[in-house]
Amino acid sequence: MTTITASNFARTTPAPAAATPAFTVDPYDPDVIARRTADAKRAETTADPLPNDLIGKPAPSYFRSYDQLKTALYEMEAKYPGLVEVRDIGDTAEKIAGTADRDILALVLTNKAMTGDKPSTLNVGGIHAREIANPELLMTFANQLLAGHGTNADATMLLDTREVVLVPMLNPDGHAVVEKGFLGERGGNTMQRKNTDAGEPALGTDLNRNFEYKWGGPGASASPRSETYRGPSAASAPETKAIQQFAIANKPDFFIDWHSYSKLNMYPWGDSREKTPHHAAFQALAQKFTSFNGYSPIQAIDLYATTGTTDDTIYAKNGKASMAIETGSSFHQSDQEFAKTLQENLPILSYTAKIADSPFERVFGPDVSSVTVDPTTRQLTATLSDLNNGKQAIAGAEVVLDPNAAPGTGMALTAADGTFDKFDEAVTGAASALPGLDPNAGDGTLVYVRGRDVAGNWGPLTAQWLTGPAKAAANSVSDAATSAAGVS
């Protein structure tokens, strides 16, 4: 097992303004979308042996067992007691049956010293056991965020002002079957998708057909042998019940269910072509994700009709942002492919936390990057871009000392070229003139920059340390994510 660390957090050169990376294939090409949806359909439903290139044996080095992951979660809590709480949100089917001792564990990340009502995100991985990369994607994000607190400006902002909840492995019983498969043990199967609540893994429930919304409808089977078996009743599986109850009780502002594979960014509905009341925003969110990962943005129904799924149910219940992402191009991503999955998707985890105060609006607002504050003069400069947020002209920018201040209440920044008229603009202002700023404020003080476009859409805040050239080096979780994946 490889321990994944956040060794690359202290990036010295901030990344340029969000520009669409050059993807090897065009995620909007209808042929590409057709191929990916066909892949996904096959990946979602197959129980047949897959071609050898899709089955990685032995396990890739990032892979770890449920027990190893559980240990890592509690080690994280012990290392960062002020930032981490491991919460047991329910027992697995086998624990209830008395045949194993596995809990469904949620990692709650937030700076406990900063109280108040914090916007939240909920990310779930491993609902399908054989999709082994996503638990480690979420663990990598957790490690980076925690390692960045106090040094990385955006990581600090996110932990101070957000509650980031990760359930890296929702299906530990199914994962145990995969573990045995990699070890070549009796009863093992590296292709296990479902949970094991019927005692025999082959008769388990497809947790992602067992949720309440439209349970029992198309795209889910009534046959226990099927890979898409919906279960005997809605939320019959304890794993389903646990996360559904948790999501309804906590109403996360952004929910993502992470799957593999086929490179798709999906939004509700999955059972109907009907548009949700948030259709335009969901489309914008999926396309925004595409700017990070190059996956194709689709309404989930474009795959095939599904019912009883996580994201539809949580959207139907809460009315808040709720999506599903299919990472990579295999169930058992190689270490090389996993590194790419990190590079493509870590920025989405931080972005969704950034915009969690109002996802359906922030997604249309500009991104801020390359914030610098001169340690001597305290002149602030930043770059704004609306390129991947509707491509409208920037109309204004501001800097605030309080990350909870309402948009429009901060100190205005000016366009470096004198006029706001383009979708990307450099901005500048005297941070020393910030109302309420202690003139002696030094290391540890954050300032936050955001911009708005001509349509009046305010984007999310980006943070930077007020002083200290050493600290000014690291300002973006996304930068670090890119760096961690070995890309400069």
CB of 422 to Zn ion, least distance (A): 41
ω into 258 cis (within 30 of 0): no
Q: How many whole angstroms separate alpha carbon 222 and alpha carbon 37?
A: 23
Compute the C-alpha angle 191/294/17, nearest 5°.
140
**128 touching Zn ion, by CB under 5 A:** yes
Q: Is the dihedral of CA 207, 127, 105, 110 positive or negative?
A: negative
Q: What is the Rg, in whole angstroms, of the alpha carbon atoms belonging to the chain?
A: 22
**175 touching Zn ion, by CB under 5 A:** no
* Closer residue to Zn ion (CB): 128 or 340: 128
* Closer residue to Zn ion (CB): 177 or 426: 177
CB proximity list for 444: less than 8 A, separation 6 or greater: 465
Interface stretch with Zn ion, choices 113-121, 122-130, 367-375, 475-483 (CB under 5 A): 122-130
What x-and-dash track marks residues 326-345 binding Zn ion by CB under 5 A?
--------------------
Interface stretch with Zn ion, choices 128-136, 297-305, 342-350, 452-460 (CB under 5 A): 128-136
CB of 127 to Zn ion, least distance (A): 6
Neighbour tally for 249: CB within 10 Å: 8
What x-and-dash track marks residues 211-250 binding Zn ion by CB under 5 A?
----------------------------------------
Residues 259, 263, 320, 471: which binds Zn ion (CB under 5 A)? 259
CB of 44 to Zn ion, least distance (A): 6
CB of 123 to Zn ion, least distance (A): 14
* Closer residue to Zn ion (CB): 130 or 278: 130
CB of 5 to Zn ion, least distance (A): 28
* Closer residue to Zn ion (CB): 111 or 333: 333
* Closer residue to Zn ion (CB): 260 or 476: 260
* Tokens linked to 219: 């795209």
Looking at the DSSP bridge assignments, the partners of residue 452 are 396, 458
CB of 161 to Zn ion, least distance (A): 31
Q: How many whole angstroms separate alpha carbon 371 and alpha carbon 473?
A: 10
**288 touching Zn ion, by CB under 5 A:** no
Size of the site for Zn ion (CB under 5 A): 2
Q: Is the dihedral of CA 86, 71, 138, 269 positive or negative?
A: negative
Interface stretch with Zn ion, choices 70-78, 126-134, 183-191, 471-479 (CB under 5 A): 126-134
Three-class secondary structure assignment of 216-283 = CCCCCECCCCCCCECCCCCCCCHHHHHHHHHHHHHCCCEEEEEEECCCEEEECCCCCCCCCCCHHHHH
Q: How many whole angstroms separate alpha carbon 209 and alpha carbon 222?
A: 10
Interface stretch with Zn ion, choices 1-9, 253-261, 311-319, 398-406 (CB under 5 A): 253-261
Q: How many whole angstroms separate alpha carbon 50 and alpha carbon 42?
A: 10
Q: How many whole angstroms separate alpha carbon 158 and alpha carbon 110?
A: 8
**263 touching Zn ion, by CB under 5 A:** no
Which residues of the chain form contacts with Zn ion (CB under 5 A)?
Answer: 128, 259
